[in-house]
């Protein structure tokens, strides 16, 4: 095990939240060290094609290009990037430690956690390769591309009903596919969906197969979960709304999480229950989950970290420190 000296700040995550935190802390001359992940460098937007709702790009921008640009902008101001996973953390002391896959221990006075949240998948062949080509996990992001199309939405909870209802603005038809005979969604969301003429339901059903033609979604096969009988559904859009999992496994023994496993912060700040540890982006946010909101909270986390470090340097107590001590000691 080697040791690489004490940094001002370490950022874990290279999505819009992590790169924005890196940019701001780099411009504040804090020389951030950024862990971007071993295989998921650039975060969720690298798995999509056109991004049309990130401000500043009137013609839209390719997701991976947007993330390369964010990275280059942070590097330009001195952010150091290591594309590796953090596998262990000790956030409790004044000096925090994070350990990478090679066993190298990195130390810092402040840590910004921006590890994002993974959309649950159906785990079917072609699902990943058709992401951004007919398969989506986000109606707000992609609904606009599905004008006058026939769409299927998978899921039975509030998110699925919200996505289905939102998609009727664009779609010709929306079929909600749910494995059970009743929905899990709240009554008000169910009522809204049931009363929408464009929405129909396939209960006790699941997606058995995703079909592709010319690199795009070309329909799905539905299977009745009781009889096993299959039928084709002629759709060109598949929205998967079966939940998401915040990447907080690493922190769960040290940081407070909410019931759904998201990092708890003292909104509107990004402070966690431990002084000097900040949370940003989708790992904190189960409401908005957009690139721009993730970037905004990465900025907030950087500013919070800057203030924390400034207070540490001049020996004044920070609210973060007092609050965190209170939270920890009760």
Ligand X SMILES: Cc1cc2nc3c(=O)[nH]c(=O)nc-3n(C[C@H](O)[C@H](O)[C@H](O)COP(=O)(O)OP(=O)(O)OC[C@H]3O[C@@H](n4cnc5c(N)ncnc54)[C@H](O)[C@@H]3O)c2cc1C
Judged by beta carbon, residue 130 or residue 193, the one nearer ligand X is 130
CA geometry: angle 248, 250, 251, nearest 5 deg: 70
**Which two tokens mark 58?**
């009137």
Contact 15, 282 (CB under 8 A): yes
How many other β-carbons are positioned within 10 Å of the β-carbon of residue 3?
Answer: 10
Question: Quick one: 96 or 247, whose CB is closer to ligand X?
Answer: 247
Q: Is 282 in the site for ligand X (CB under 6 A)?
A: yes
Q: Which of 137, 170, 239, 262 binds ligand X (CB under 6 A)?
A: 137
| CA gyration radius, the chain | 22
Applying CB under 6 A, the site for ligand X has a residue count of: 41
C-alpha closest to that of 266 among 294, 300, 306: 300
φ, ψ of residue 173 in degrees (nearest 5): -150, 150
Among 282, 280, 272, 285, which Cα is nearest to 323's?
A: 272
Q: What is the DSSP string of 237-271?
A: EEEE-S-EEES-GGGTTTS-B-TTSPBP--TTS-B
Consecutive H or E run containing 167: helix 158-167
Q: Which is nearer to ligand X, 62 or 158 (CB)?
A: 62
When binding is defined by CB under 6 A, the residue of 25, 131, 248, 272 that contacts ligand X is 131
Residue of 305, 279, 320 lying closest to 13 (CA atoms)? 279
Can you give the three-state secondary structure of 115-161, one letter per residue? Answer: CCEEECCCCCCCCCCCECCCEECCHHHHHHHHCCCEEEEECCCHHHH
Query: Which of 32, 43, 237, 276 touches ligand X by CB under 6 A?
Result: 43
Residue whose CB is less far from ligand X, 183 or 283: 283
As a whole number of Å, the end-to-end CA separation of the chain is 35
Please identify which of the residues 83, 84, 85, 138 carries the catalytic annotation: 138
According to the binding rule CB under 6 A, does residue 162 interact with ligand X?
no
Q: What is the DSSP letter of 281?
A: G
Residue matched to tokens 């995703």? 210
Q: How far is the CB of 32 from ligand X (least distance, A)?
A: 14
> Which of these ranges, 32-40, 173-181, 217-225, 317-325, lies near ligand X under the rule CB under 6 A?
32-40
Smallest separation, CB 285 to ligand X (Å): 7
**Residue 277 within binding range of ligand X, rule CB under 6 A:** no
Binding mask of the shown chain, residues 238 to 257, with x at each position contacting ligand X by CB under 6 A? ---------x--x-------
| Residue 268 φ/ψ, nearest 5 degrees | -85, 5
Does the footprint of ligand X cover residue 263 (CB under 6 A)? no
Of 45-84, binders to ligand X (CB under 6 A) are 45, 47-48, 51, 53-54
Distance separating alpha carbons of residues 209 and 219, to the nearest angstrom: 9
Q: Is 151 in the site for ligand X (CB under 6 A)?
A: no
Which residue lies nearer to ligand X by CB, 117 or 205? 117
User: Which member of 115, 236, 248, 272 binds ligand X (CB under 6 A)?
Assistant: 115
Residue number with CB closer to ligand X (42 or 205):
42
Minimum distance from residue 115 beta carbon to ligand X (Å): 4
299 a catalytic residue: no
152 lies in the site for ligand X, by CB under 6 A: no
Q: Select the span of 193-201, 222-230, 236-244, 290-298 touching ligand X (CB under 6 A).
A: 290-298
Asked if residue 302 binds ligand X (CB under 6 A), the reply is no
**What letter does residue 282 receive in the DSSP assignment?**
G
What would the two tokens of residue 311 be?
A: 């207070």
Question: Residues 24, 40, 251, 308: which binds ligand X (CB under 6 A)?
Answer: 40
Binding site for ligand X (CB under 6 A): 12-18, 35-37, 40-41, 43-45, 47-48, 51, 53-54, 85-86, 114-116, 119, 131-132, 137-138, 141, 247, 250, 281-283, 289-292, 294
Residues assigned a catalytic role:
138, 141-142
């Amino acid at each position: 095990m080697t040791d690489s000296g004490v940094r001002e700040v370490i950022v874990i995550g290279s999505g819009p939240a992590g790169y924005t935190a890196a940019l701001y802390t780099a411009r504040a001359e804090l020389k951030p060290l950024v862990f971007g992940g071993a295989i998921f460098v650039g975060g969720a937007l690298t798995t999509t094609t056109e991004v049309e709702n990130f401000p500043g790009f009137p013609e839209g921008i390719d997701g991976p290009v947007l993330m390369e640009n964010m990275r280059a902008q942070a590097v330009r101001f001195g952010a150091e990037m290591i594309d590796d996973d953090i596998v262990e953390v000790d956030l409790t002391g004044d000096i925090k430690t994070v350990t990478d896959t090679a066993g190298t221990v990195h130390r810092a006075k402040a840590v910004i956690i921006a590890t994002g949240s993974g959309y649950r998948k159906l785990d079917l062949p072609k699902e990943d390769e058709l992401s951004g080509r007919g398969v989506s996990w986000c109606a707000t992001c992609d609904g606009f591309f599905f004008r006058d199309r026939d769409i299927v939405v998978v899921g039975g909870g509030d998110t699925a009903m919200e996505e289905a209802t939102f998609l009727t603005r664009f779609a010709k038809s929306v079929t909600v596919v749910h494995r059970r005979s009743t929905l899990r969604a709240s009554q008000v969301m169910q009522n809204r969906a049931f009363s929408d003429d464009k929405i129909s339901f396939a209960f006790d059903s699941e997606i058995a197969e995703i079909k592709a033609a010319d690199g795009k979604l070309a329909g799905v096969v539905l299977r009745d979960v009781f009889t096993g009988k299959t039928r084709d559904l002629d759709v060109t859009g598949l929205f998967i709304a079966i939940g998401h999992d915040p990447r907080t496994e690493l922190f769960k023994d040290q940081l407070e999480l909410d019931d759904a496993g998201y990092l708890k912060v003292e909104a509107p700040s990004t402070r966690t229950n431990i002084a000097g540890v900040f949370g940003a982006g989708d790992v904190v946010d189960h409401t908005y989950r957009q690139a721009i909101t993730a970037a905004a909270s990465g900025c907030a986390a950087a500013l919070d970290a800057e203030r924390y470090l400034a207070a540490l340097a001049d020996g004044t107590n920070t609210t973060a420190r007092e609050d965190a001590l209170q939270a920890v000691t009760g």
